[in-house]
Amino acid sequence: MNTKGRKPLWRSPAWWTAAAVAARNLNGMRQVRRTLTWADQPAPAGNRRSAEPMVLHVVIPVLREQQQITAVLAWFVPLLRGFPGSTLTLVSTAREDRERRHLAARLAGATAADLTVERFPQLTGDELIALGEALSGTGEGSLTKAVAAEVLSGFPTTADVITAELAHLPEEEPVVRHVHYQGDGRKAAQVNAAVEQLATTAADREYIAVYDVDSRPGRELLERTAQFLARRRAQDGELPRVVQQSARFATQDAAGSWWERGLCRGAARAQTLWTLRREIPNLRRYADASRRPHPGHGLPGLAQTVGHGLLVRTDVFRQVGGLPTFTVLDDVAFGYRLTLDGIPVDSLPFTTTVPAAEHLSELLAQSERWFQSYLDYPNCAARWHAEGHGRRRDHAMALTIGAYRGMAWLLVSPATAVCLALALGPHTRPPIRAAAATALWAATVAPVRALAAAEGRPLTGWETAVRSAETLAGLLLKSVGPLTALGRWAVTGTRHTELAPKSNRRTAPSTTTDREFA
């Protein structure tokens, strides 16, 4: 091979790119193995129920969730009976009525071909069918705003469904409350409104537990959580202030085409790997550092909380002013606020499984929505510095960490694509090819096999190849949502929308959401 005229390896951008991605992915794989060793271990033999009573005030904000309410009540009401003093609050919102009027305006001019899930993900299948029938009945080629509004008004709102369902519960069922929020805010404002109306007798021993409408925490999970709380209380002299139940993601293969099912499975697996190699390790490091503060050394890191499976001690929730309502999303911003006060966020040593996006359009919209949190960090710094929370250098450190995490997300797809091109390129130099192949192996093959081994289901060679290819596809798509978020912001000048950035949940949540511990 003629090597004359070639740059030295250390002067090759391709080499440094492949080596940097390989180093990051190998460290990520190391974190995956450490997390799998630490999390989801079998429960100790004997009585699993802790002597520490656990009172949970479960708060579930709902918007356009008519089809989910019956299942939510059927799951949570019997579950919480096992934890005396616990309550369930469903928080509907008047925003649903305003969004319905906005949807009617958007439907004006829609033809029969436009009445699809892809065009109107905010509408249920029944609503789309009714709109199509109404359009046929008018004999016109497109809907008018008046017809659309009349059709939509014929369907009950989520608040109507909750009221009807609660009327069927036994009178002696004190566990369920319904709060109807009248303001313009979204999820965070709904949760805060519910907590404001919550009467507690021991705020330092009770928790606000924020879940999504498709969350299905099981009894095993809650009992193990109670055990964890008791252990932390024995070590710290008080109950943990904030606890995060981290999640794995899984699809139900609801998409119609094989490639879309595989792509969504891969994206769900890639998100699970992010939980195991980034979310949980970061929370563990932050919690350890915040319990051993070093005066003058600045922030102990940056807590990155997630908006489902979040348990906040009631006194702490009120101390920090509840969930932030001035940002587009609330979960990462809430972690920023906790960090300023040095409040530990404990990661539970076991995971749940939550539904993942089932369709490409939903997947892209979800990742675009989630990336909004990273764009909110400057707003957090400006607001809370003005209010006297945190020193200037604390905010500078938090913004630096947040920028690094956001940039890492933005670069996942480009870095993966570059490594794939280098690994397959016919003219790639062997050291560069080896580094690129190592990066891809550490991001796909190794973690896929580690996940299967931890679940007690070793994979065949073919299964490994299929799952690795799906995960690779998920990684190649991972940065599209964030890039779309940046592009939309640049074009429109705003990140706020008339409609809440969500779609209707079109698949039933899995009822097997706890990891198997036996």
Average pLDDT over all residues of the chain: 89
pLDDT of 184 > 70? The answer is yes
Q: Binning pLDDT at 50, 70 and 90, where does residue 518 land?
A: very low
What does the pLDDT look like over 5-57, one tens digit per residue? 577 887 889 999 999 999 999 999 999 999 999 998 776 655 554 556 889 99
3-state secondary structure 89-123: EEEEECHHHHHHHHHHHHHCCCCHHHCCCCCCCCC
The per-residue pLDDT for range 354-407, each reduced to its tens digit, is: 889 998 988 998 999 999 999 999 999 999 999 999 999 999 999 999 999 999
Confidence of residue 200 (pLDDT cuts 50, 70, 90): confident
- Furthest C-alpha separation in the chain: 87
| Rounded Cα gap, residues 352 and 511, in angstroms | 11
**Residue 515 pLDDT more than 50?**
no
For domain 47-399, give its CATH number from 3.10.150.10, 3.90.550.10, 3.40.190.290, 3.40.50.300: 3.90.550.10
Note the pLDDT tens digit of each residue in 298-337: 678 899 999 889 999 999 999 999 999 999 888 899 999 9
Retrieve residue 377's tokens.
């960090």
CA distance 91 to 306: 19
Per-residue pLDDT tens over the stretch 234-260: 999 999 999 999 999 999 998 889 999
Contact 334, 302 (CB under 8 A): no
Q: Is the pLDDT of residue 462 over 50?
A: yes
Residue reference for tokens 């330092």: 204
Phi, psi of 92 (to 5 degrees): -85, 175
DSSP for 464-505? HHHHHHHHHHHHHHTTHHHHHHHHHHHHHS----SS-S----
- What was the pLDDT predicted at 46? 53
pLDDT band at residue 175 using 50, 70 and 90 as cut-offs:
confident
**282 Rama sector, left if φ>0, alpha if ψ -120 to 50, beta otherwise:** alpha
The pLDDT assigned to 296 comes to 61
pLDDT of residue 74: 94
Q: What's the mean pLDDT in 163-173?
A: 83
Give the count of beta carbons closer than 10 Å to the beta carbon of residue 335. Answer: 26
**pLDDT tens readout for residues 399-443:** 999 999 999 999 999 999 999 999 999 999 999 999 999 999 999
Q: Residue 125, SS3? A: helix
Q: Would you list the domain boundaries of the chain?
A: 47-399
The SS3 of residue 353 is: strand
Cβ–Cβ contacts within 10 Å for residue 456, how many? 7
AA identity, residue 84 = P
Give percent of the chain above pLDDT 70. Answer: 92
